[in-house]
Every structure is written in C-alpha cells, then in structure tokens.
C-alpha cells in the first residue's frame, strides 16, 4: 500500500511533472499537458479529475506483477501461458529443460506453502520455504522485510540450532519434513 503521507510528498516534489499535471505549479513551457484531455475537455476540469484519480490510488493495495508470473517465464494472459507451455513442452534443449525443472519447482513450492497455511511462526514459514520449498533466500527476504538473503540464511541456521535444543520446535520441523515426503 502507498500511505497517504506519500501523496503529500508527491504534491511537494519539484522534480516530477505531477505538479504541473495537477495544476500545483506555474507555467512549464517544456512540458506538454495535452494528455490531460483524457480526464476532461477543459484544463481545470482535467486537472481536478487527474488529482482525484491520483488521490484514489493512495491507500490501495499495489499488486506485485511478479506474483502473476507463470513458470518463471510468462507474465501475461492465461492464453499466452498455455501457448508458451505448448511450445516449450517436449523440447529437449537446455533452456527448455531448465524451464521445465523450474516449473516443477514452482509446483513443489506451492505444495510447501499449502502445508504452512495456519502457521503463525514466521521463522518456521521462512525455514520451510527455503529448506523444504527450495525458494531463494533473497526472494523470501523481500517478502518479510529483510534487506537481503543473508538475514534469511542466518534466521534459518538459528532456527535449526534452536530446534536441536527445543523438542517442540524440533518436532514441528520434523513433521513438516515428513509431510513433504508424503
């Protein structure tokens, strides 16, 4: 989500054309405002509607387009996904084989994530996604607010160490491992 405070920052930011489009700054000979006609015939009306539409974007969830990626290869419609899949399946080239392996990995990661539904301990979720699901630490790190994959690697090692001392935690990790093998 984009917090409302960021909207005020955008309105004050002088190095963006937004201020001109929104009617918040003076003349800008170097900038064409023609595309404002999309929001209205008259400049004032268009600027008002533009500001309204921009304001509505704040506090709305922002979808991550990479979550829509299929098979680590296709970012597009279902039709495109099916077409690419038909083209690649059955091919024996190196790239195609690597893609098919990634596709299998995605399905495995989905299975592991399914086992984690209801798990409240983020440490266990991160551990399972990395150790059992084979996800890259750097990808999981972004999702949980870590700066890079090193923090996730450290968390995984510490959790495994703690599981050796804590029977309950050790049993939880062992159960997850066993469920993955079923």
Do residues 51 and 74 both lie within one domain?
Answer: no
pLDDT of residue 142: 86
The one-digit pLDDT tens for each residue of the chain (182 residues) are 566 778 888 888 888 888 889 988 877 788 888 888 999 999 899 999 999 988 888 877 777 777 777 766 678 888 888 888 777 776 665 555 455 556 666 777 788 888 888 889 999 989 888 888 888 888 888 888 888 889 999 999 999 999 999 999 999 999 988 887 76
pLDDT of residue 164: 94
Last residue of a domain, one of 57, 81, 102: 57
Do residues 30 and 78 both lie within one domain?
Answer: no
Do the beta carbons of residue 125 and residue 117 sit within 8 Å?
Answer: no
Do residues 74 and 44 both lie within one domain?
Answer: no
Per-residue tokens: 79: 């039709």
pLDDT of residue 177: 84
pLDDT of residue 99: 56
3-state SS, one letter per residue, for the chain: CCCHHHHHHHHHCCCCCHHHHCCCCCCCCCCCCHHHHHCCCCHHHHHHHHHHHHHHHCCCCCCCHHHHCECCCECCCHHHHHHHHHHHCCCCCHHHHHHHHHHHHHHHHHHHHHHCCCCCCHHHHHHHHHHHCCCCHHHHHHHCCCCCHHHHHHHHHHHHHHHHHCHHHHHHHHHHHHHHHC
Do residues 140 and 161 both lie within one domain?
Answer: yes
Per-residue tokens: 73: 């290869």
Do residues 129 and 43 both lie within one domain?
Answer: no
How far apart (Å, rounded) are the C-alpha atoms in residues 50 and 23? 9
Per-residue tokens: 158: 């510490």
Do residues 117 and 176 both lie within one domain?
Answer: yes
Do residues 84 and 174 both lie within one domain?
Answer: yes
Do residues 81 and 37 both lie within one domain?
Answer: no
Do the beta carbons of residue 170 and residue 164 sit within 8 Å?
Answer: yes
- Could you give the number of structural domains in the chain? 2
Q: Which domain holds residue 102?
A: 66-181
Do residues 51 and 118 both lie within one domain?
Answer: no
Q: Enumerate the β-bridge partners of residue 70.
A: 74
Do residues 143 and 170 both lie within one domain?
Answer: yes
Do residues 123 and 150 both lie within one domain?
Answer: yes
Do residues 105 and 153 both lie within one domain?
Answer: yes
């Amino acid at each position: 989500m984009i917090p409302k405070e960021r909207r005020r920052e955008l309105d004050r930011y002088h190095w963006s054309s937004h201020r001109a489009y929104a009617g918040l700054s003076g003349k800008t000979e170097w900038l064409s405002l023609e595309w404002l006609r999309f929001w209205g015939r008259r400049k004032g009306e268009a600027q008002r509607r533009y500001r309204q539409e921009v304001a509505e974007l704040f506090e709305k969830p922002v979808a991550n387009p990479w979550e829509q990626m299929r098979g680590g290869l296709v970012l597009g419609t279902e039709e495109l996904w099916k077409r690419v899949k038909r083209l690649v399946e059955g091919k024996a080239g190196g790239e195609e084989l690597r893609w098919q392996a990634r596709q299998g990995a995605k399905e495995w990661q989905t299975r592991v994530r399914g086992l984690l539904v209801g798990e409240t301990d983020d440490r266990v979720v991160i551990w399972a996604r990395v150790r059992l699901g084979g996800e890259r630490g750097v990808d999981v790190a972004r999702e949980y607010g870590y700066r890079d994959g090193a923090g996730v690697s450290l968390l995984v090692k510490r959790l495994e160490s703690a599981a050796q001392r804590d029977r309950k935690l050790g049993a939880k990790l062992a159960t997850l491992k066993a469920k993955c093998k079923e």
